[in-house]
Structure 1
Amino acid sequence: MTATEPTILATSGGHRVGDRTRVLFGPLVHHAVELARVEGRRPRVMYVGTAIGDAEHFASRMSEAARVAGFDLTPLHLFPMPNVEDVEGAVLEQDVVWVMGGSAANLLAVWRVHGLDAVFRRAWEAGVVLSGVSAGSLCWFQGGTTDSFGPELRALTDGLGYL
């Protein structure tokens, strides 16, 4: 089952240090899964680390956090090329898309080159819950402030504009 209406959970958190693992999903990730209304199976969560350059060590930590939470995690990597043959199909199979923080400006540029701006809109309209932290939160808006361009905050005015 998917969310009953297009849903975005824009956050400033989502994971924390675990007792026996490097990362655990916090209440905000669990809330995103609750919003997806998954019943009778393990929730499917896509982790998107574009904003930190698809850092493999962090994708590994998120996979471990998903295992502990009881979620099936699919990482979407775009560097050096998409790691799945059918990006749109993979996105649409998810209950939640969780986007990591980092550079919002770089994330948006790379997503647009790969057509993910349109793919994520279709997923959102289909009931996939879109969520994320920092850059993974800002990206869904028309714009906001970011340090993507340097240490001084500047305006980002070309967000995806879903909100």
Structure 2
Amino acid sequence: MRHGEAAVGLIIDRSDLILIKRKIRSDDPWSGDVAFPGGFLKENESPAQCVLREIREEVSLYLTERDILAEMPLHYPMSRQLPVHPFIIRGYSLEDARPGEEVDEVRVVNVSELIKDYDQNKGNIYRYQDWIIWGLTYRILTTYIERYYGNFDF
């Protein structure tokens, strides 16, 4: 495995997108966090191949490179030098997404229902129901909303 890079997928259908809550695991630095499906690149795997594999593993959706609408600029977690490749991917039947082994819960989120807020410990956040979206996922989501949201025809 190449722990030097990761890829995540913003699976969208109009105003909806998929977020996951990661299972609590000692070997996962983002254990228990709300995130986009994604993970580390394996050897000889492109970021696009990685994100599609991770989406299959984490939310049981089978998408192809033809479904990729755009690759966003690289983002980095504050805690480490890990390039993360965010992809915007056209999703179909988002409600069919099911949690894989590493995922506690999958939710289809409407962008209009995200509430921007501030948390004393986590900084800038979005609230969605009882979930808090913060850190790298917050920054990628903000980039998506500010630069890409509404730019795709369905």
TM-score, normalised relative to structure 2 = 0.28
Greater percentage in helix: 1
Greater percentage in strand: 2
TM-score, normalised relative to structure 1 = 0.27
